Structure 1
Amino acid sequence: MVTVPAGRVVLSDRRTERSWDVGVEACRLGAVPVTQAFYARVTGQRPSAARGDRLPVEGVSWWDAVRFCNALSVREGLAPVYQFADDGEGVAWDASADGYRLPTEAEWEYACRAGTSGPRYGALDEVAWYRGNSEERLRDVGGKRPTPWGHYDLLGNVWEWCWDVYDPEVYGTYRVLRGGGWFDEHWSCRASVRRRSHPTFRVDDVGFRVARSGGGG
């Protein structure tokens, strides 16, 4: 887990041509996406199509990701962040809990930019696995240059689930994905790119990383 300092970020959506300014509180964000080995240690499951302990876990839905966060919190003696409705269809975020959670998309983009001003925190081939250099396959985490704040693979390798609903009026419960993946062209691997998917969706280029509120601990 690597600290993300407090600050502000401007998010934008190309589809609606809208932008909005968001304050970000200090938090901690996983240095790498959750790996297959880590996911297996916590859940006992290996859902990924490709196999390798240091490959990012993929083939996981948004629901799988939030349940992993709660399971990891319990495993480490922390208060679970997510409270699930009895019907299994709804989930609430307990802001007082100290456990693991998904990053918000504002936290994700702010960490991805890491004080830089361009579309990426470095030259694409140096920081990301994408269609142009991945040989069209998933790659071990941590193999490219990190952000100035010390996070790896925020661009490329796997898209990452965020907490946020994408656009509830148009897309209902669809959640935000960020970062681009190993099969994407260069234009998808930028700090500002937003993608959406149904929270039950599972595919071989979507994973996640964990966050915790607060800048320490």
Structure 2
Amino acid sequence: MRLFQLTVLLAMFFMFIGCCAPSINMIFVKGGTFKSCYKEKDKPDPVDIEIKDFYIGKYEVTQAQWNTVMEKNPSQFRGDSLPVEGVSWFSAAIFCNKLSEMEGLEQCYNITEFATDSNNYKQDLQVKYTVSCNWDRNGYRLPTEAEWEYASLGGRKSKGFKYSGSDDLNEVGWHIRNSGDKLLTNYNHAACFHQDSIKIYNNSTKAVGSKKSNELGIYDMSGNVYEYCWDIKDYVYVNYQVEPGDHMFGREITVPIRIALGGSWLYDMLESTIADRMLIAPYAGPNSNGLRVARSKKCFF
């Protein structure tokens, strides 16, 4: 009888967790070996990287999902199905931990608030947090840059597209030329200040999943919003550890600049290629940036 009562209580507990936590649709990504698209001047050619199996969000995190977890919405463009934007790298890490907690999972990130770290200063501004990651925990986290790029390329199903899912960005992504009232065929990237397009053409984010997916069934990995990754600013393969049969892990986060990938509604087509990266301070939260979550396969159940 006691065992039955305990079973019922546990079932009710997990039902309660499930009803409170937002639904996050995850796509399984079978591991494999790939060569990065990213190159930097005066750096060696990238090496082959072996990626372990993992899971990644089918869609960018929406405002409805963010608001359920964080109980506030920083986005400039409002709509439950729109990707959340205006979030910083730090707030994205906090979201992952809170989402894990809501689902009864282990939190991946160890976040020390108000820590004094000489490497976390930029323009005399003290960063509020230091963050490290426990890769063996089963909760949500940001994808590594290598995981993100591998998934964006289509994993083992990759057809080698320039953008995630197509060589035609208009098929798969929202960018400065197509996210407004009219398609800008003669947009002058060099002459126009991006934010001016909001006033002139009403450019904005769009509902997640409203374009074609890539080879793995993942949406919006090119355009809509830039997506934060775990990694620090560094050449993608320098200062990484690569072990046989293992995938790459970045160093602990103690430097000012982080990486975001994929381009956005506010940027031109060049920034939406798989090879392009944005470098950004972890406390900055522009309206071009959002997130997509990941989980380790060995921890997923």
Partner residue of 2:39 out of 13, 17, 32? 13
Give 1:33-182 correspondences, 5 Å limit.
33-85=60-112, 87=115, 89-114=129-154, 115-120=158-163, 121-122=165-166, 123-135=168-180, 136-167=203-234, 172-182=255-265
Aligned length: 216
The Cα RMSD (Å) is 1.9
Gaps of 5+ in 2: 1-25, 116-127, 181-202, 239-253
Indicate if the aligned counterparts of 1:33 and 1:209 stay in contact, CA closer than 8 A.
Answer: yes
Given the superposition, is the C-alpha separation of residues 19 and 175 from structure 1 closer, same or farther in structure 2, using an over 3 Å criterion? farther
Indicate if the aligned counterparts of 1:9 and 1:109 stay in contact, CA closer than 8 A.
Answer: no
Q: Secondary structure at the match of 1:85?
A: strand
Which structure dedicates a bigger proportion of its chain to helix?
Answer: 2
TM-score by length of 2: 0.68
User: Matches of 1:102 and 1:81 in 2, distance apart?
Assistant: 10
Indicate if the aligned counterparts of 2:90 and 2:129 stay in contact, CA closer than 8 A.
Answer: no
Aligned to 2:281: 198
Aligned AA for 2:62?
A: T
After the TM superposition, which of the residue ranges 6-15 and 122-131 deviates more from structure 2? 6-15
After the TM superposition, which of the residue ranges 111-120 and 157-166 deviates more from structure 2? 111-120
User: Matches of 1:37 and 1:194 in 2, distance apart?
Assistant: 27
After the TM superposition, which of the residue ranges 4-13 and 180-189 deviates more from structure 2? 4-13
Q: Secondary structure at the match of 2:68?
A: helix
Aligned AA for 1:196?
A: L
Gaps of 5+ in 1: none
Query: In the alignment, is residue 188 of structure 1 matched against residue 271 of structure 2?
Result: yes
Cα deviations across residues 47-77 of structure 1 (Å, max 9, x unaligned)?
Answer: 1011000000000000000000000000000
Aligned to 1:2: 27
Aligned AA for 2:112?
A: A
User: Matches of 1:209 and 1:50 in 2, distance apart?
Assistant: 18
After the TM superposition, which of the residue ranges 59-68 and 117-126 deviates more from structure 2? 117-126
TM-score by length of 1: 0.94
Deviation of the 1:92 alpha carbon: 1.0
Larger Rg over CA atoms:
2
Q: Secondary structure at the match of 1:145?
A: coil
Cα deviations across residues 86-141 of structure 1 (Å, max 9, x unaligned)?
Answer: 52532111111000000011111111110121312212111001112111211110
Which structure dedicates a bigger proportion of its chain to strand?
Answer: 1
